[in-house]
Structure 1
Amino acid sequence: MGVDKRKRVVVAGTGFGRIYLEALTSSRLPGRDYFELAGLLARGSDYSRSCAEQYGVPLYTEAEQIPDDIDIVCVVVRSGATGGEGSELAQSLLKRGIHVLQEHPVHTKEITANLLAAKQGNAAYAVNTLYPNLRPTRQFLAAAEYLRWHQRLEMVDAICNSQMAYPLLDVIGRAVGGLRPWSFSEPEHAEGHPFQSLSATLGGVPLTLRIQNQVHPQDPDNHSLLLHRLAIGSEGGVLTLADTHGPVLWNPRLHSPRDQTGRLILSGEGTERLAVPSMVTLGDSDMRSYHDIFALTWPEAVIQALHSLCADIAQPERRRQSGQWALSVSMAWSDLTARIGMPALIQPGEPEPVSVQALTDIVSQACD
């Protein structure tokens, strides 16, 4: 897994950093035993003090207080891209030779400066976009790689909210085998429509992209119609990640032979390809609740990212490639966000939940 010894890890930040803390302490996660939570870096609020007490680790309020025997710091503090000082913190640690995993998004200039600091300190640095390491996404990417090796990819269709654009580009780039060349058209946005639409290419593959570029200024982490959805089409069919958290679906392309009169042959000899299901679930079919996503799916992805960083620690020759990929993702994201502009401000109320049981009952009765 790229870990030659147990790594001592400090988490900086107690917002989204809670997912990292869960990742490093949950006994339910495979691969977690390679890492030891060795401290928390925060401003010293009552909440952060209670967090440190809960996990039984020291609370550091200044980066300089972090001991030299710490292997990795997870910087889960806003970067300059979102008005924070996460990259300055990362650079101070990297120069000391402490390896850093930094939560996205991170501007290209910041990544460049972070990579320079990493080189100065002979340390490994990586940006964690999280979502490529989710279990359903890894299943999707494995299937996409198989398709890519056997057939030419014809198209990508994707939809997301604007906060998911950064990791979505990372996922698409991995799925199609590279980010370059990329291009984005000017967006189209109909009045009253929640999505902007763009024609694009990524990795040379045609891409149709719709983005909900809206944000609630007092509640920015809520009110997205969805996180992301992604489909890749090849000659043989369409591979779909139906939601950020799965499932992965395969839809074989419908194609029928014709007889001598030109009519489609719908059954019999020569129509074996029509005998397969029109849609198949690949990988996991049982979906997790949001409680389990926060407690398992996201922490699992953090552990995956830490193992990837450890491979860069153990094999310094990998670091250049990892850094170039991080730069490319950030550059593509900057190009995209320059096209779509600032998000529109919305202030909807709390969404009303829909009863799953009621939907189930309605569907079961629909064809009775």
Structure 2
Amino acid sequence: MSGAPLRVVVAGTSFGRVYLDAVLSAPEHFRLAGVLVRGGDYSRALAERHGVPLFTSVAEVPEEVDIACVVVRSGATGGPGSRIARALLARGIHVLQEHPVHTAEITECVRAAREGGSAYAVNTLHPDLVPVRRFLAAAEVVRRRQGIRFVDAVCNSQVAYPLLDVIGRAVGALRPWSFDEPVRTAGQPFTSLNAVVGGVPVTLRVQNQVHPEDPDNHSYLMHRVALGCEGGVLTLADTHGPVLWNARMHAPRDATGRLVMSGERVDRLKEPSTTVLGPAGTSTFHDVFTGLWPDAVRRSLLRLCEDIARPERRAGSGQWALGVSRAWADLTARLGMPELIRPGEPESLPTAELTAAVEGLEP
């Protein structure tokens, strides 16, 4: 990408703060040109702090703005985000919209983008996180060398949308997909179901629970994904890493039929049972919010810039976004409405205490 930085307006200042950080972190590519919000005190103070105008309607956004990041709830979660996106696209302003977005809304936005001569993309964020990118890079090797035999995944229902995006990229396709009838057991926090994504067998466990007053918290985890092949199992231990490779245990037999458990001539016995792919350490949650997530948004914006520069890419981007949304709609239809829970703030368990317990063991 070359030339003058593109002028970007961010709509929404809740999760939109991550988008603001992303834009500000890449001044060679982007320039923050304003904030589009309803006009609360926090948003006004935020716009003043960054020295940019605050707009309270799409009509106030200047014609010279290049990109709008719409980080306002879409119709999928009861908000006006898709309506805002359509209005901006119709004016020729390129749009990156935060997920989840219903299929019908994406179709309408793609149509508005085509009529306005603009580019449109749905941002699922998670595939652009550095640890997930490591996982997907390793998955590509697995897929090319041996093919993927199965996927085992677990998530919270709040992040099932990006999970399907990650699985689709890992196995190389979304279609064909299907989801079996889920199994629900009283007292169990997770709902289990068998599925197929991209023709690959998938087992899913979903914590289909939400705190109605605090929906962004109270997940036991975000994502954990394992995919298996002839040689072993590749695992994304958490959305934010690390990535693990478990070589498949297989010992040959000697002339008497006994397993060979040692010997310099058996190369596969020299393989570590588990290898961390990439850095062994992981980020603090502070670093996730201020580093990993803005970096992922920046990558999404740069990919949108490629669609802006090369209009022939836009149809493919739209088709993938539609596929993810349709698969998500099928999954959520199977899962049904989430169980409403209202737990208190979870008690922290000090890592040092766990470390001390492990270090106290005899070798």
- In the TM superposition, what is the alpha-carbon distance from 1:214 to its structure 2 partner? 0.2
Aligned to 1:25: 24
Q: 2:65 & 2:179 partners in 1: Cα distance? A: 42
- Letter of the 1:13 counterpart: G
Are 1:129 and 1:166, in contact at CA under 8 Å, matched by a contact in 2?
yes
Aligned to 1:211: 206
Question: Could you list the runs of 4 or more consecutive aligned residues of structure 1 that deviate by over 6 angstroms after TM superposition?
Answer: none
Identity %: 63
Q: 2:50 & 2:194 partners in 1: Cα distance? A: 47
Match among 173, 177, 198 for residue 182 of structure 1: 177
Aligned to 1:242: 237
User: What do residues 75-110 of structure 1 show as CA deviations (whole Å, max 9, x unaligned)?
Assistant: 000000000111111011101110000000000000
- In the TM superposition, what is the alpha-carbon distance from 1:357 to its structure 2 partner? 0.8
Q: 2:286 & 2:95 partners in 1: Cα distance? A: 28
- In the TM superposition, what is the alpha-carbon distance from 1:55 to its structure 2 partner? 1.1
TM-score using structure 1 length: 0.97
Q: 2:348 & 2:209 partners in 1: Cα distance? A: 21
Match among 290, 308, 314 for residue 309 of structure 2: 314
Aligned to 2:330: 335
Aligned to 1:102: 97
- Letter of the 1:16 counterpart: F
Report the secondary structure of 2:228's partner residue: strand
User: What do residues 43-100 of structure 1 show as CA deviations (whole Å, max 9, x unaligned)?
Assistant: 1111110010111111001111111111000000000000011111101110111000
Q: 1:121 & 1:3 partners in 2: Cα distance? A: 24
- In the TM superposition, what is the alpha-carbon distance from 1:32 to its structure 2 partner? 5.1
TM-score using structure 2 length: 0.98
Report the secondary structure of 2:34's partner residue: strand
- Residues matched between the structures, number: 363
Q: 2:256 & 2:319 partners in 1: Cα distance? A: 56
**1:171–1:10 Cα change, 3 Å:** same
Match among 102, 121, 124 for residue 119 of structure 2: 124
Considering only aligned residues, what root-mean-square deviation do their CA atoms show, in Å?
A: 1.0
User: What do residues 193-220 of structure 1 show as CA deviations (whole Å, max 9, x unaligned)?
Assistant: 0000010010000100000000011111
**1:131–1:365 Cα change, 3 Å:** same
User: What do residues 278-323 of structure 1 show as CA deviations (whole Å, max 9, x unaligned)?
Assistant: 1011112221110111000000000000010000000000000000
Are 1:257 and 1:270, in contact at CA under 8 Å, matched by a contact in 2?
no
Aligned to 1:271: 266
Q: 1:32 & 1:339 partners in 2: Cα distance? A: 44
Are 2:157 and 2:206, in contact at CA under 8 Å, matched by a contact in 1?
yes
Decide which moves more: 156-165 or 266-275: 266-275
Would you say 1:64 and 2:59 are equivalent positions?
A: yes
Report the secondary structure of 1:153's partner residue: coil
Match among 336, 354, 361 for residue 359 of structure 1: 354
Report the secondary structure of 1:366's partner residue: coil
Would you say 1:79 and 2:78 are equivalent positions?
A: no
Aligned to 1:145: 140
Are 1:10 and 1:70, in contact at CA under 8 Å, matched by a contact in 2?
yes
Gaps of 5+ in 2: none
Would you say 1:39 and 2:44 are equivalent positions?
A: no
Aligned to 1:169: 164
Gaps of 5+ in 1: none
Which of 1 and 2 has higher RCO (CA within 8 Å, sep 6+)? 1
Q: 1:285 & 1:3 partners in 2: Cα distance? A: 35
Are 2:195 and 2:201, in contact at CA under 8 Å, matched by a contact in 1?
yes
